[in-house]
Amino acid sequence: MFRRMTRERYLSDPELERFMAAVRERRHVHQPRDHALFTLLANTGMRPAEVRALTRGDCHLLGRAPWVRVYRVGKKHGPAPLPRLFLQREVSEIVAKHVASLPDGEGVKLFPFTKRQSARLFHYYADKAGITPRRKVYALRHTVGMRLWAFTKDLRLIQAIMGHTNLQATEGYVHTSDDAIRAAYTAAGTV
């Protein structure tokens, strides 16, 4: 049985915009790092642990089709590599800016955080953006899944992007709003 996405598990579009604005506007020495971290999370659907595991060698940010190599992290999945995850040009530029500030070496981690540190950082920006109720970092992954569903309505595509092993996990992103139901009735011309 899958869990349907509840309001507390993802960010709405206005909340996501406020969150990313809080990240962009912060004046701090670590702002480029934070911007790269949350841009990746909010635009790729990667798990927070997968982003924390990224190294310089996993990033291929030059060329026409920038991408990152993502490794599944966790007890259930093991370290089996997922296919390449292609990045939008804007995302790759933000990440490249952060990567340029790192020491040389293929094995240098992009985001050397613990799970707890990344959660605190997420909550710092969520509080700045006025996002309530309090969410988890994973909410950014769920937000990507919800947005992909709204745009494509293709569960198999979303399953591949999100790296789910079974389709039931992906079905949790199927969300029908009242507006969508009204539009369907209107389009069908029901009496």
More confident residue, 103 or 191: 103
Q: pTM above the 0.85 mark?
A: no
What does the pLDDT read at residue 162?
83
Mean pLDDT of 13-33: 93
More confident residue, 39 or 160: 39
Q: Which residues pair with residue 60 across a beta bridge?
A: 67
Q: Are 81 and 71 in contact (CB under 8 A)?
A: yes
**Predicted pLDDT of residue 165:** 79
**Topology given in CATH for the domain delimited by 10-137:** hpI Integrase; Chain A (1.10.443)
Upstream peptide bond of 133 is cis (omega within 30 degrees of 0): yes
Structure token digits, residue 122: 């997420």
Checking if the pLDDT of 6 tops 60, the result is: no
**To the nearest whole number, what is the mean pLDDT of the chain?**
85
DSSP secondary structure string for all residues of the chain: -PPPPPGGGS--HHHHHHHHHHHHH--STTHHHHHHHHHHHHHH---HHHHHT-BGGGEE-SSSS-EEEEE--STTTTTPEEEEEE--HHHHHHHHHHHHTSPS-TT-BS----HHHHHHHHHHHHHHTT--S---TTHHHHHHHHHHHHHH--HHHHHHHHT-SSHHHHHTT----HHHHHHHHHHHT--
**pLDDT band at 1, cuts 50/70/90?**
very low
For the chain, give every domain's residue range.
10-137
Q: How far apart are CA 150 and CA 173, in angstroms?
A: 9
Q: Is the pLDDT of residue 19 over 90?
A: yes
* pLDDT band of 2, cuts 50, 70, 90: very low
Q: Percent of the chain scored above 70 by pLDDT? A: 85
Residue 157: pLDDT band with limits 50, 70, 90: confident
> What pLDDT does residue 177 have?
57
